[in-house]
Structure 1
Amino acid sequence: MQMTSAPHLLAEDGPEYARILGDALRHAQDRPDLEGVGDRLNTEQLRTMALNATALITAAAATEYEHYVKARADLRAASATVPEGEQYGDTSSATGPGAGIGAVLTVLTPLLAGTAAVIFLLVGYLLKAVSPSLAFGDSMVVAGWFFAAVAAAAILVAAIGLLVTALRNGSTSLAAEDEEQELPEEVARAREAWRHALLERGILPFLRDALADPTAGPAARTPHRSPNRIPKIGYSRPDFSGPEDGPSAGPRPTFTSPDFTSPDFGGPEHRPE
């Protein structure tokens, strides 16, 4: 799950924020103010809400975080002035040309010695099979077993070298993990102050508010609606009813057609009397 970035939280401190949030949710049952976890909201829902509100939560500890970032930057600036070999405990023999030659010999010696052993043994035993009285065949067999012993010894040395390298790298990684425990006192105090402020003033109040909000539960987010109920959109349909249904229904007006009669006149031969 990806955490929403906060403008005042560096990317390298994002995992630390997620870890503090995880610890708070993991021990939520031990805190009386977070006893509602699991009723309306479960742990994963609270985690998602808190990750989406990273900027809001971390703003509560912005002062302590700025002090911690400044102290850490000063430490890194001071460490940058130390020579790299002294800072990480490297020696010239570990990175010099001798180390490269040794690595090449460690890889090539078993391969070359093993190939020579196969060739000498194969040729020697073939010569002894063809001409048992030929002394050259015995010499080839002896040489083949010699190169076989060299190949076995080289493989053993290479295995020991790999084991030593693995142990050295393991100790280096452990030292890197313990680096934050060996921070100077000022940086360690600044980091602890930020963690405490982030938990007490940011994460825990946010979780309490989320649990206390009655609209945060799943039931509140899915209101019950009657299947026959049609939601109003903002207007109602007109009421079409007959005129006799209204309260002021009265007698309908009557209309009679006009009496159209033919005019009482005619042609010249029919003049009115």
Structure 2
Amino acid sequence: MTSAGHLLNEDRPEFDRLLDEALRTAHERPELSTLGERLNAEQLRTMALNATVLLTTAASAEYDHYVKVRGDLREAAAAAASAASSSTDPAGDVLDDGSGTGAGLSAVVAVLAPVLALTAMVIFLLVGYALKLVDPEPAFAETILTTGWLFGALTVAALLFAVVALLVTAVRNRATEVAADVAEAVPDEVQRAREAWRHALLERGIMPFLRDALADPTAGHGYPVPRTPGAGRIPDLGYTRPDFTSPGPPSQGPRPGYSSPDFTSPDFGGPERDPG
């Protein structure tokens, strides 16, 4: 379960898409006909995103049900996948002995055998035909040519083996993909829960919010949020404009709290006068 009004990260894009759809089709709703007079679509979108918790709270019951149904489906799918992975594949027993070396060896042989056979064929044929040009012709030249053609036949056989192996692998993968597609099909219960949440979010959360925002007379042009806090469903961002006042005349304020210093001349006389 999720806390009231808080969406999971995977569902936030769905909220954004639903909000954009509501703003895009606002001209089809009479209650949103004043869109663009005081607030435009982008300003309304910013206000709605700032009030996401407020909007999603209106459909919290449907959202909790949707999350629960979806979670149960995922748990069931995970359990089925775990059971399938623990089962033994009869074909896998032949190719894999548990260490993974059987399938790896077959792949290496399927790739290297045609290459090695083709290389040997080319070498033996080149050497055999080169020896036939020598006069007198060596006795083993024909043997080398025969060996080269044997490697040619081996190359063809290796290529056929590789093609068959690829076809078998493709058939197995196709069967696995079909099973995965069937397992990933969304059940009707999850689809119904999702549509119920979307409808509740649109009709009880997004649309009333947009309607109240457009009907609020304090939402003046150029302000993404109303300047009067707490107006209906409109969120309060927690700040107001500073209250500036002009300074009053000098007579209204207190006088400075200081005075000029009191200087006096030093008390002294000439050298013939005793200061004591």
TM-score normalized by the length of structure 2 = 0.60
Among 184, 204, 207, the residue aligned to 1:204:
207
Question: Which residue matches 2:58?
Answer: 60
Q: 2:42 & 2:169 partners in 1: Cα distance? A: 44
Q: 2:220 & 2:175 partners in 1: Cα distance? A: 53
Post-superposition offset of 1:61: 1.0
Paired residues, number: 222
Distance 1:145 1:209, change over 3 A: farther
1:102-121 alignment, distance < 5 Å: 102=103, 104-106=105-107, 108-121=109-122
Q: Which amino acid aligns with 1:193?
A: A
Question: Identity of counterpart residues, as a percentage?
Answer: 43
Question: Which residue matches 1:234?
Answer: 245
Task: Tell whether the 8 Å contact from 2:39 to 2:219 is kept in structure 1 after alignment.
Answer: yes
- Unaligned residue ranges in structure 2 (runs of 5+): 225-241, 252-276
SS state of the match for residue 222, structure 2? helix
Question: Which residue matches 2:124?
Answer: 123
Q: 1:142 & 1:58 partners in 2: Cα distance? A: 77
- Unaligned residue ranges in structure 1 (runs of 5+): 222-230, 241-273
Question: Which residue matches 1:225?
Answer: none
Matched, 1:146 2:144: no
Q: 1:165 & 1:44 partners in 2: Cα distance? A: 52
Task: Tell whether the 8 Å contact from 1:124 to 1:136 is kept in structure 2 after alignment.
Answer: no
Question: Which residue matches 2:25?
Answer: 27
Matched, 1:136 2:143: yes
Post-superposition offset of 1:23: 3.1
Q: 1:167 & 1:37 partners in 2: Cα distance? A: 53
TM-score normalized by the length of structure 1 = 0.60
Among 67, 70, 89, the residue aligned to 2:68:
70
Larger fraction in helix: 1
SS state of the match for residue 234, structure 1? coil
Structure 1, residues 141-186: CA drift from partner, whole Å, max 9, x if none? 2133224324533553465467557755764665466x32x24x4x
1:1-273 alignment, distance < 5 Å: 8-37=6-35, 40-76=38-74, 82=80, 84-85=82-83, 92-93=89-90, 98=95, 101-102=102-103, 104-106=105-107, 108-131=109-132, 134-157=141-164, 160=167, 164=171, 167=174, 171=178, 174-175=181-182, 179-180=185-186, 182-183=187-188, 185=189, 187-213=190-216, 216=219, 219-220=222-223, 233-236=244-247, 238=249
Say which structure, 1 or 2, has more relative contact order (CA 8 Å, 6+ apart): 2
Q: 2:38 & 2:92 partners in 1: Cα distance? A: 60
Post-superposition offset of 1:205: 1.5
Q: 1:172 & 1:45 partners in 2: Cα distance? A: 47
Distance 1:37 1:236, change over 3 A: same
Q: Which has the larger radius of gyration?
A: 1
Q: CA RMSD in A?
A: 4.1
Q: 2:92 & 2:220 partners in 1: Cα distance? A: 61
